[in-house]
Amino acid sequence: MPHPERLGKYPITAVLGEGAMGVVYKAFDPHIKRPVAIKTIRRQLIEDSELGQSAVARFCNEAQAAGRLLHPGIVTVYEYGEDQEQAYIAMEYVEGHSLAKYLARKVRFPEADILSIMSQLLLALDHAHEQGVWHRDIKPANLIITRQGRVKIADFGIARVDAVGLTQVNSVVGTPGYMSPEQYTGQPVDHRVDIWAAGVVLYQLLTGQLPFNGSAQSLMYKIVHEEPVWPSEHAGLAWARRYDAILAQALSKRPDGRYASALAFREALLSQTSEPVQPVVSEETVIMDLGRHEGRSAGTPSQGGSGAGAVTTAPPSGWDADTLSRLEASLARFVGPVAKVLVRRAARDCADIDTLAARLAGHLQTDQERAAFLQQTGSRPKAPGPASTGSGMTATLVMDTTRLDAAVVDQAQRILAAHIGPIAKIIARQAAAQAATRSAFFELVCARIDNEDERARVLAELRAIP
């Protein structure tokens, strides 16, 4: 079936995903001037198979459940509509990655990020529960970490709405491994199924694995009858002992043994730290996933520390760790803790200190900042010509200081679109807002491409722009 040019008042700008039941589009709200995501379902499914009717029920349920919620931690539903071919939901367009993607790439979050993720999740769940909505399918795939570090709950397709007259989806539903004992056994459920699932997410964040594993049949038995191996019993996680009791309550087999509310769960977590819990996930974590994956591994915090799996980004091959540390310290004065990620990533593509310093200077906002940074590192820009002799951080370098103009941004957007699709327009616009020179703009644009070979090809094409 051909894709429509518009749905309701929304012009379609891109296809985000497509399946047997429907399509998810990116569109534009012409009145409020904002991008939206539009989830569709084909109308003929209403009369077709039982599976199709179940999908329709979930679709309508999502519109009703999420549509009554308004919270920064929940993907907002704007509108439900129908035309001759399909029904659709217009919702908030969120840029980011699911928590499942982070976990699949073996990311081990620092403790500060674990607490931030859980705090944001539990605040959003508390709002949903206050409105009589139980999600019933909380899992990493339904938790989005935005590019601003905020956590948003998505997919209310099997939510239970505790109100007369609204669509109910009452069958035994959920995702194996995240379903509570009462969901498996068909017992009455309430908002505490979400408390259980949030406990499973916390367990994964701490250990990198599910509390219960096995075949469908053995998994059900374990969840209903057995206790998990608590985090502190895992190798290298003795520091996580303070979370064992919290998880034991969140994962209580009996609902009345769990935290009575999401807020109570959150308060128990916050009581384990003397530091303020950050309202967003660290920029270092967000950037790590937007560029190439920088490995993290679980580690034991330093004596008296509270870290959980600190970043273990080794110096790129051929680089001296002390040299990179000095660059990180200099850059951090301008960009904060994300400096470590920027330096280690850029060092992989640079053969000498001056090229690296010039590359890093491109991340700074003003000429004054760039000059100050280069002065601190001992590098100085120079017009093209033979490089001076010498070594260390006093060698000269060639740095492109050509100002960025709209024509270059447009050409870069077209080049980028051929590699990553319609999102190129957004990436180019964001990079242009941050960069003052062509070289800085090109570096920022290419930082959003995961594959190293493809990134090199795109960078070469961009540098060829006249």
pLDDT digit string, tens, across residues 81-119: 877 777 888 889 998 889 999 998 888 899 999 999 999
Which of 188, 192, 170, 185 shows the shortest CA–CA distance to 61? 170
Max avg pLDDT among 1-15, 100-114, 292-306, 409-423: 100-114
Check whether 334 has a pLDDT greater than 90. no
Name the more confident of 439 and 414: 414
pLDDT recorded at residue 157: 61
CA–CA distance, 357 with 379 (Å, rounded to integer):
7
* 287 membership: H or E segment, kind and range: helix 283-290
73 burial class (0-12, 13-18, 19+ CB within 10 angstroms)? buried
Name the more confident of 357 and 305: 357
pLDDT recorded at residue 164: 34
Q: Tell me: is residue 382 an annotated ligand-binding position.
A: no
pLDDT recorded at residue 395: 32
Could you tell me if 426 and 434 are in contact, meaning their C-beta atoms sit under 8 angstroms apart? no
Strand partners, 133: 161
Could you tell me if 64 and 75 are in contact, meaning their C-beta atoms sit under 8 angstroms apart? no
Residues of the chain above pLDDT 90, percent: 31
Check whether 342 has a pLDDT greater than 70. yes
Name the more confident of 16 and 289: 16
Could you tell me if 282 and 296 are in contact, meaning their C-beta atoms sit under 8 angstroms apart? no
* 329 membership: H or E segment, kind and range: helix 321-335
Check whether 152 has a pLDDT greater than 80. yes
Check whether 120 has a pLDDT greater than 50. yes
Residues of the chain above pLDDT 70, percent: 74
Dmax (CA) of the chain = 80
CA–CA distance, 367 with 387 (Å, rounded to integer):
23
CA–CA distance, 235 with 298 (Å, rounded to integer):
9
pLDDT recorded at residue 61: 66
CA–CA distance, 294 with 344 (Å, rounded to integer):
9
Could you tell me if 93 and 26 are in contact, meaning their C-beta atoms sit under 8 angstroms apart? yes
What average pLDDT does the segment 34-48 reach?
75
Sorting pLDDT into bands at 50, 70 and 90, what band is 65? confident
294 burial class (0-12, 13-18, 19+ CB within 10 angstroms)? buried
Check whether 126 has a pLDDT greater than 90. yes
Let me know how long the chain is: 466
Mapped onto helix, strand or coil, the DSSP state of residue 97 is strand
Catalytic residues: 137
Question: Tokens representing 355?
Answer: 């090229």
Number of Cβ within a 10 Å radius of residue 466: 5
Full DSSP string of 12-40:
EEEEEEE-SS-EEEEEEETTTTEEEEEEE
Residue 108 phi, psi (nearest 5): -110, 115
Name the more confident of 52 and 195: 195
User: pLDDT, tens digit, for every residue of 240-286?
Assistant: 999 999 999 999 999 999 999 999 999 999 999 988 999 999 877 88
pLDDT recorded at residue 21: 67
pLDDT recorded at residue 144: 94
User: pLDDT, tens digit, for every residue of 413-429?
Assistant: 889 888 777 677 877 88
The pTM for the full model equals: 0.62
